[in-house]
Amino acid sequence: MSVDRPVALSRRTMLGAGAALGVAAPLAGLGALPAAATDQGHDGGRYHASVKAAVGFLQQVTDAYGKTGARIVQSFDDTRISDIGFIYDNALTSIALLSAGDLKRARQIADGLLYAQNHDETFTDGRLRQAYHADTFVNGNGTAHFGWEYGLTGTAVGDMSWSGLALAQLARATGKRSYLDGAVRIGTWIFDHTYSTTGLGGYTFGETGGLEDHKSTEHNIDVYGFFRLLAILTRDAAWTRRAQHAWEFITRVWNSDDGFFWTGSDDGTAINKNPVQLPLDVQTWYWLSVGKPRYGEALDWAKTNLATTDTPLRTNSALTGTYSVSGVGFGSGTFRTDVTTTVGGHDYTPKPDDGAVWFEGTGQLALALASRREDGDRSDAAALLAQIRSAQSNLGKGQKFNGKTTTGGVVASSSPLDTGFGFDYSPNLHIGATSWYVFAATGFNPYRFN
């Protein structure tokens, strides 16, 4: 894919691409990696080396453009979208490094988010752009250098919530007021700009061109988890009430007939029931963020209906020889895609494989199942983790960040993948997919104070 063309919008800005919280116990993983990142694959730590390699990959990429100071980390290898770093991916990476005991790099990324928040070229209200440049993060005039094809699209609630989750985790781990203040500014922006009392209620998509009235189930799940952390950190009951507002929206988009959550609403009132837009992460993140057993069957729907195996003989598969890999797709659109045309009809996207595995989501499902702990959940989670490790060992070899070959990472997908929302994933090394593997393998829930 040409790096000088804008890729289709990230799922963080697409509709619906898109638990009670843990008690305030000491944050897991602040010691050295061998003690902190213990594997949860139920095999006596046999795969600890793969977790260490994944963390090592995140460290390599964090340092790709320098080892000191605040920074934004490049999301994909050099061939995907050059040095662009999405704030969602950066939030995940900061939390993953924190969970593995690398407080220094976790803080450098969180400091990058704070810098972007405090040095926007236009806004002073605490919002963040969707993505920034990792190489030239700071402009000559001191403002944060956002990627024009992403930053100009506006600000989305999901992106903001994940950045807030990262800052909240750092606030608790370090006691630094700057992280808490940054998280509160994000929460205040979400509440002030997206709180809705019409239609399905909840929080709107954000200030993103053409999507202002949309409401995403995923985003409301993110808001719920983020605001509950703010309630703990600030001891302000207002954040609990604001979280409850998101929860009420989530309950309204539950499909009781089939046991899953719909993706959201295009107009804020009518539920989007498009059969090619039934995403995985709404189901997995519900469990990780909210975790109420009443809706736990959403995980069963996901593991049954979104399971897939990619093999070299599938149309448009990127796999070769005798290698195959299993996991889950992004959503229903992955399996209902038109394999004869490019994703979204764009000239810069590939023709998709309708059996492609989405490794970020595979990690999410593994973590969610392992934490639910119903019959068969732990063995299912272990099987999913084994597939991610297989991909870690076999896919993405020789890929580079800032011209440097990296090792230990996980690719976004096994083959070109259609999400059903007009954008794609490809077999590029991805800090987001790698971070979710770290969470799943170590049992760390980024929505909670573990």
Average pLDDT of the chain to the nearest whole number: 90
Question: Above 80 in pLDDT, residue 46?
Answer: no
> Does residue 202 belong to any structural domain of this protein?
yes
> Does residue 368 belong to any structural domain of this protein?
yes
Question: Above 50 in pLDDT, residue 231?
Answer: yes
Beta pairing partners, 216: 264
| Predicted local confidence at residue 131, as pLDDT | 94
> Does residue 119 belong to any structural domain of this protein?
yes
Question: Above 50 in pLDDT, residue 390?
Answer: yes
3-state secondary structure the chain: CCCCCCCCCCHHHCCCCCCCCCCCCCCCCCCCHHHHCCCCCCCCCCCHHHHHHHHHHHHHHHCCCCCCCCCCCCCECHHHHCCEEEHHHHHHHHHHHHHCCCHHHHHHHHHHHHHHHHCCCCCCCCCCCCEEECCCCECCCCCECECHHHHCCEEEHHHHHHHHHHHHHHHHHHCCHHHHHHHHHHHHHHHHHHECCCCCCCECCEEECCCCCCEEHHHHHHHHHHHHHHHHHHCCHHHHHHHHHHHHHHHHCEECCCCEECCEECCCCCECCCCCCCECHHHHHHHHHCCCHHHCHHHHHHHHHCEEEECCCCCCCCCCCCCCEEEECCEHHHHCCCCCCCHHHCCCCCCCCCCCCEHHHHHHHHHHHHHHCCCCHHHHHHHHHHHHHHHHHHCCCCCEECCEECCCCCECECCCEECCCCCEECCCEEHHHHHHHHHHHHCCCCCCCC
Question: Above 80 in pLDDT, residue 155?
Answer: yes
Q: What is the CATH number of the domain that holds 343?
A: 1.50.10.20
| Predicted local confidence at residue 152, as pLDDT | 66
What percent of the chain has a predicted confidence (pLDDT) above 90? Answer: 86
Question: Above 90 in pLDDT, residue 114?
Answer: yes
Question: Above 80 in pLDDT, residue 40?
Answer: no
Residue listed under structure tokens 């979104």: 306
> Does residue 6 belong to any structural domain of this protein?
no
Which CA distances in Å does 276 have to 5, 332, 367, 422? 26, 5, 25, 11
| Predicted local confidence at residue 448, as pLDDT | 97
More confident site: 95 or 207: 95
> Does residue 4 belong to any structural domain of this protein?
no
Domain region containing 332: 11-442
Rounded CA-CA distance 96/333 in Å is 29
pLDDT in tens, 262-306: 999 999 999 999 999 999 999 999 999 999 999 999 999 999 999
- Per the structure, how many domains does the chain have? 1
What pTM value is reported for the model? 0.91
Question: Above 60 in pLDDT, residue 180?
Answer: yes
> Does residue 222 belong to any structural domain of this protein?
yes
> Does residue 5 belong to any structural domain of this protein?
no
What is the average pLDDT across 40-45? 44
